[in-house]
C-alpha cells in the first residue's frame, strides 16, 4: 500500500518557501510548502503559464509575510527535460533561487509496481529540494545551466551533426536500393550523379526500373538539400560576428586544433559541448562525458556494470571516435603506448573496453591542456605555417 506523504512533517529552512514544478506540455503541477503552513499545497496551472506561476508564488509570499512579519525567501526546482532552461532564467530574474535537477538522480521507490502520479512526483521533488538545501549535496545532482550565449553558440555544431546523420541516411538508402539490382553505386553525393546513373545497367542490361528510379531521384533531391544546408552553415559560421562566448569557444577550438589528430569538426564539438564549462577536477570531466565506471558491490558481489553513460551523449560519442583517431595520428604519445601495452595480444572485446579508458584519459588530458597549457605527454603539435 502506498503511504501518503501529505501530512508528514516537512522540516526545512524556516522563512523559506519551497516550490517544486512538475512540467508537461498540457499542464504544470506545482507542489509548494510555505513556512506559515504545516502541509504541502498542490496547484495546477496551464502548461507554459509562467505569469500565473509567478503570481501564485507572489500570493503565497504575501500571505507568509503577513503571518511571519517578514518576507520569506523562495527556492524552487524542476527536472531538466523538454522545456530546457528558459524557466530557470525567468525564475532567477524574478528573484527566486532555482535549481534544475537531473531526473535520473532522484531516488524513487524500488517496488516492482510503484505508484507514480504527478502529485507524488511533485512531493518527492519538493522534499529532495528541502534535503539539498538542508545540507545533503548527494541527495540529487544539480544540472549546470549554461549561459544563454553559451547555449546559443553550440547550435551550429549540433545542427551540423544532425545534417551529417541525414546525409548518411540518404546516401545509405540510395546505395541499398541499387544493391537490390546488383548495380554499381558510384558517389551519390555528386550533383551530376543522376546523369551518371542513367548510363548504368544491371546484369540483364536493363536500366533502373521507373518506380525505383523515382524513389532514388527523391532521395537524391533530399540529399542535395542537406548538402546545400551544410555549405550554407559553413559560410554562416565563417561570416558571423562572434559573441564573447563564441570568441572564447573559438580560441579554445584553435588550441585543440594545434594538436595533430584534431580537426575543425572534433575541436568545435568538444569546445561547444564540454570545454566551455569550468570543471574543478578530472573526476568531473570524466563524469560529464559519462566515461566513469559503475561498480556494483554488495556483500560478496563485486562486478563492473560498465561506464555510467551519464552526461552529454554527443560529447561521449566524439570522445570515443577521437580516441581511435588518436591511436593512428599520435602513435608515440604516452596514452597510445599505454594502450598498446595493455592490449598486446588482446582480443577485440578487450580492445573495445580499453578504448573507453583511453577516451577518458584523453579527455582529461585535453582539459588540462586547455586550462594549464600542458601538452599531453609525447603528443605532436601541427607545424605552424609561416
The mean pLDDT value for 164-177 works out to 96
Tell me the pLDDT tens digit for each residue of 209-267.
Answer: 999 999 999 999 999 999 999 999 888 877 777 778 788 888 899 999 999 999 888 89
The reply to whether 139 and 42 lie within a common domain is yes
**β-strands 293-298, 301-307: how paired?**
antiparallel
Measure Cα distances from 24 to 84, 216, 274, 298 in Å. Answer: 12, 40, 28, 37
Tell me the pLDDT tens digit for each residue of 21-71.
Answer: 999 999 999 999 999 888 899 999 999 999 999 999 999 999 999 888 888
Distance CA 137, CA 129 (A): 10
Please say which residue of 221, 239, 257 terminates a domain.
239
Please say which residue of 186, 216, 239 terminates a domain.
239
**pLDDT score of 381 more than 70:** yes
Share the mean pLDDT of the chain. Answer: 89
Tell me the pLDDT tens digit for each residue of 309-323.
Answer: 888 899 999 999 999
Distance CA 261, CA 251 (A): 18
Domains in the chain, number: 3
Please say which residue of 213, 239, 265 terminates a domain.
239
* φ, ψ dihedrals at 326, nearest 5°: -60, -40
Q: Check residue 11 and give its pLDDT.
A: 41
The reply to whether 225 and 110 lie within a common domain is no
Q: Check residue 4 and give its pLDDT.
A: 40
Least confident of 160-164, 200-204, 382-386: 382-386
The reply to whether 284 and 339 lie within a common domain is yes
Q: What is the pTM of this model?
A: 0.80
- The residue segments making up the domain with residue 320 are 244-372
Residue 14: band (very low, low, confident or very high) from pLDDT cuts 50, 70, 90: low
Measure Cα distances from 193 to 168, 183, 202, 331 in Å. Answer: 16, 14, 17, 39
Query: Burial level of 318, CB count in 10 A (0-12/13-18/19+)?
Result: buried
The reply to whether 344 and 268 lie within a common domain is yes
Distance CA 163, CA 157 (A): 10
The reply to whether 160 and 203 lie within a common domain is yes
Q: Check residue 385 and give its pLDDT.
A: 52
Q: Check residue 3 and give its pLDDT.
A: 42
The reply to whether 169 and 276 lie within a common domain is no
Amino acid at each position: 500500500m502506498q503511504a501518503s506523504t501529505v501530512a508528514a512533517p516537512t522540516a526545512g529552512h524556516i522563512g523559506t518557501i519551497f516550490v517544486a514544478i512538475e512540467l508537461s506540455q498540457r499542464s504544470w503541477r506545482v507542489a509548494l510548502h510555505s513556512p506559515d503552513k504545516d502541509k504541502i499545497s498542490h496547484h495546477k496551472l496551464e502548461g507554459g503559464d509562467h505569469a500565473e506561476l509567478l503570481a501564485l508564488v507572489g500570493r503565497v509570499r504575501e500571505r507568509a509575510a503577513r503571518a511571519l512579519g517578514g518576507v520569506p525567501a523562495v527556492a524552487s526546482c524542476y527536472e531538466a527535460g523538454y522545456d530546457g532552461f528558459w524557466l530557470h532564467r525567468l525564475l532567477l530574474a524574478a528573484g527566486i533561487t532555482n535549481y534544475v535537477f537531473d531526473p535520473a538522480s532522484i531516488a524513487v521507490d524500488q517496488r516492482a509496481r510503484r505508484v507514480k502520479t504527478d502529485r507524488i512526483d511533485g512531493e518527492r521533488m519538493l522534499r529532495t529540494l528541502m534535503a539539498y538545501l538542508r545540507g545533503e549535496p548527494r541527495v540529487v545532482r544539480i544540472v549546470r545551466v549554461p549561459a544563454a550565449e553559451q547555449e546559443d553558440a553550440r547550435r551550429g555544431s549540433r545542427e551540423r551533426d544532425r545534417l551529417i546523420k541525414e546525409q548518411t541516411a540518404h546516401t545509405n538508402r540510395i546505395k541499398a536500393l541499387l544493391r537490390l539490382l546488383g548495380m554499381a553505386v558510384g558517389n551519390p553525393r555528386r550533383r551530376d550523379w543522376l546523369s551518371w546513373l542513367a548510363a548504368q545497367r544491371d546484369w540483364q542490361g536493363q536500366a533502373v526500373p521507373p518506380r525505383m528510379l523515382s524513389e532514388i531521384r527523391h532521395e537524391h533531391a533530399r540529399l542535395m538539400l542537406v548538402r546545400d544546408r551544410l555549405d550554407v552553415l559553413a559560410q554562416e559560421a565563417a561570416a558571423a560576428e562572434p559573441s564573447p562566448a563564441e570568441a572564447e569557444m573559438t580560441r579554445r577550438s584553435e588550441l585543440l586544433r594545434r594538436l595533430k589528430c584534431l580537426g575543425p569538426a572534433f575541436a568545435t564539438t568538444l569546445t561547444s559541448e564540454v570545454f566551455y564549462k569550468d570543471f574543478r577536477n578530472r573526476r568531473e570531466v570524466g563524469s560529464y562525458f559519462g566515461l566513469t565506471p559503475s561498480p556494483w558491490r554488495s556483500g560478496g558481489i563485486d562486478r563492473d556494470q560498465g561506464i555510467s553513460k551519464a552526461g552529454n551523449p554527443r560529447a561521449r560519442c566524439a570522445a570515443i571516435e577521437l580516441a581511435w583517431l588518436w591511436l593512428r595520428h599520435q602513435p608515440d604519445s604516452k596514452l597510445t603506448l599505454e594502450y598498446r601495452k595493455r592490449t598486446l595480444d588482446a582480443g577485440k572485446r578487450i580492445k573495445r573496453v580499453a578504448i573507453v579508458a583511453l577516451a577518458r584519459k584523453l579527455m582529461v588530458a585535453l582539459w588540462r591542456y586547455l586550462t594549464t597549457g600542458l601538452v599531453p605527454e609525447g603528443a605532436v603539435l601541427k607545424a605552424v605555417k609561416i
